[in-house]
Amino acid sequence: MAGLYLHIPFCKKACHYCNFHFSTNQKHKQDLIEALCKELQLRAKELKSAPLQSIYFGGGTPSLLSLEDLNTIFHTIDNSYNVKPDAEITLEANPDDLPPKKIQALASTPINRLSIGIQSFFDEDLQLMNRTHSAKEARRCIEMATPYFDNITIDLLYGMPQMSNVRWEKNLQIAFDLKLNHLSCYALTVEPKTALAHFIKTAQHPPFNDTVAAQHFQTLVTATANAGFTHYEVCSFAKPGYFSKHNSSYWLGKPYLGVGPSAHSFDGKKRSWNVSNNKQYINTIARNELPLTSELLTLENRFNEYIMTGLRTMWGVSLKRIEEEFGLGVQTSLINNAHGYLASETLKIEDAHLKMTPKGQFLSDGIASDLFIV
């Protein structure tokens, strides 16, 4: 089974922390949708008729698409791909794009999961992030969407210098009170060439402190566990039955196809990515050409990716799979390299899987990189 990702590269305005590919100019939106549908047709054979278990509209801000836009895309998918009847179909949305009529319209489409970019339930945080919605809109859109969508996840950000632990706890409690079944919670990071990076460099914003983020993370882990959530990936928390099929496929190394500018694809051995330029993307597709670059992953690349993604999840890294795909010598080397982390109890071996312990979760990316084949 496979996944399909569609990148919708439009936003109303730029959030101060974001480095994803997007444009605030929607002048060529219809041209891009036409190109995206054509790319779907051109690349349908890449999945070799594998049934789609998930479809994910990301961005950018996919909730800027109209009902007509979405139906055009779904019509193309239905004609070119084998979609499982129970496929998870997610649309990323901003609260200010979800008035009652839009929610009802979305409920009439095949979309069965909303991922809402709340980020915070407090106006002070939202204003600093340059978000387009208010705290009031954040709560209201969830309350309005819940009768139409059982499967709703929200994004929340933590680790900001101005966010006290008390306010972070209140953010989480509001989410729990809204009866959500999934949370994606991220430590806000300072990405190069963003407005936030400029503000910190010019002393317009205080620098970030890893101690604050670590404290927020521990609060997050404790609060979600007490509220009945399973911490199944470093940033992902779900009630039983609500794990993200799409994101889980990334972490478990399943194939997926990415269409749209800047979108990435993976078939198990090869990775490819589209050009991050809307005009160039549209013009290339118009010539019946694919605007992508491909890379055949080396054994080392595949091993390192599996370590990075596997250690982020509750399932960990299968030592049997390491032996089968990379050899007994690589498995032995991995266990030897992990010895210090096993001794410090930030890693553990359980049921023939190498896993993060609660003590090591916040440090997972750094620990994983230490185990890479260089």
- Is 176 a member of any domain? yes
Residue 313 sits at φ, ψ, to 5 deg, of -110, 165
E strand or H helix at 239, and its extent?
none
Q: What CATH number is attached to the domain comprising 354?
A: 1.10.10
Total domains in the chain come to 2
- Do 245 and 310 lie in one domain? The reply is no
Sequence-distant (≥ 6) Cβ neighbours of residue 51 within 8 angstroms: 1, 2, 82, 83, 84
For strands 52-59 and 83-93, give the pairing.
parallel
DSSP class of residue 194? S
Which tokens go with 288? 């019946």
- Is 230 a member of any domain? yes
* Three-class HEC string of 250-271: HHCCCCEEEECCCCEEECCCEE
Q: What CATH number is attached to the domain comprising 186?
A: 3.20.20.70
The label of the residue with tokens 């990076």 reads 197
Q: How do the pLDDT tens digits run along the chain, 374 residues long?
A: 799 999 999 998 888 788 788 788 888 899 999 999 999 999 999 988 889 999 999 999 999 999 999 999 999 999 999 999 999 999 999 999 999 999 999 999 999 999 999 999 999 999 988 999 999 999 999 999 999 999 999 999 999 998 999 999 999 999 999 999 999 999 988 788 888 778 888 888 788 888 999 999 999 999 999 999 999 999 999 999 999 999 999 998 899 999 999 999 999 889 999 999 999 999 999 999 999 999 999 999 999 999 999 999 999 999 999 999 999 999 999 999 999 999 999 999 999 999 999 999 999 999 999 999 97
| Domain endpoint, select from 219, 251, 283 | 251
pLDDT of the residue at 16? 79
Helix axes 100-107, 135-145, angle to 10 degrees: 40
- Is 154 a member of any domain? yes
Quote the Cα angle for 259-260-262, to 5°: 100
pLDDT of the residue at 193? 82
Tell me the C-alpha distance between 27 and 31, whole Å: 9
For residue 82, the number of C-alpha atoms closer than 13 Å in the C-beta half-sphere is: 9
- Do 177 and 318 lie in one domain? The reply is no
- Do 221 and 306 lie in one domain? The reply is no
pLDDT of the residue at 192? 87
Tell me the C-alpha distance between 269 and 325, whole Å: 12
How many CB atoms lie under 10 A from the CB of residue 211?
Answer: 9
- Is 262 a member of any domain? no
- Do 219 and 351 lie in one domain? The reply is no
- Is 174 a member of any domain? yes
Q: How far apart are the first and last CA of the chain?
A: 31
- Is 280 a member of any domain? no
- Do 66 and 143 lie in one domain? The reply is yes
- Is 337 a member of any domain? yes
- Do 247 and 317 lie in one domain? The reply is no
- Do 191 and 314 lie in one domain? The reply is no
The answer to whether 283 and 34 have CB atoms below 8 angstroms apart is no
User: At residue 184, what is the residue type?
Assistant: S
- Do 201 and 328 lie in one domain? The reply is no
- Is 353 a member of any domain? yes
pLDDT of the residue at 25? 83
Buried b (16+ CB within 10 A) or exposed e, 105-144: bbeeeebbbbbbbbbbbbeebbebbebbbbbebbbbbbeb
pLDDT of the residue at 231? 98
Partners of 266 in beta bridges: 256, 271
Please give the sequence-ordered ranges of beta strands (E in DSSP) within the chain, or none if there are none. 2-8, 52-59, 83-93, 113-119, 151-158, 182-187, 230-233, 236-238, 256-259, 264-266, 270-274, 292-296, 317-318, 347-350, 353-356
Helix axes 328-337, 319-326, angle to 10 degrees: 130
User: At residue 110, what is the residue type?
Assistant: P
Question: What is the sign, positive or negative, of the torsion defined by CA atoms of 2, 291, 35, 48?
Answer: negative
- Do 333 and 186 lie in one domain? The reply is no
Q: What is the pTM of this model?
A: 0.94
- Do 246 and 325 lie in one domain? The reply is no
Tell me the C-alpha distance between 374 and 364, whole Å: 18
pLDDT of the residue at 64? 95
Chain centroid, CA 29 distance in Å: 23
Cis peptide before 258 (omega within 30 of 0): no
Write the CA distances from 184 to 25, 229, 232, 237, integer angstroms: 28, 11, 11, 6
- Do 231 and 341 lie in one domain? The reply is no
pLDDT of the residue at 326? 96
Write out the residue range of the structural domain in which residue 55 sits. 2-251
- Do 247 and 330 lie in one domain? The reply is no
Sequence-distant (≥ 6) Cβ neighbours of residue 235 within 8 angstroms: 184, 185, 186
| Domain endpoint, select from 190, 216, 251 | 251
Tell me the C-alpha distance between 33 and 156, whole Å: 29
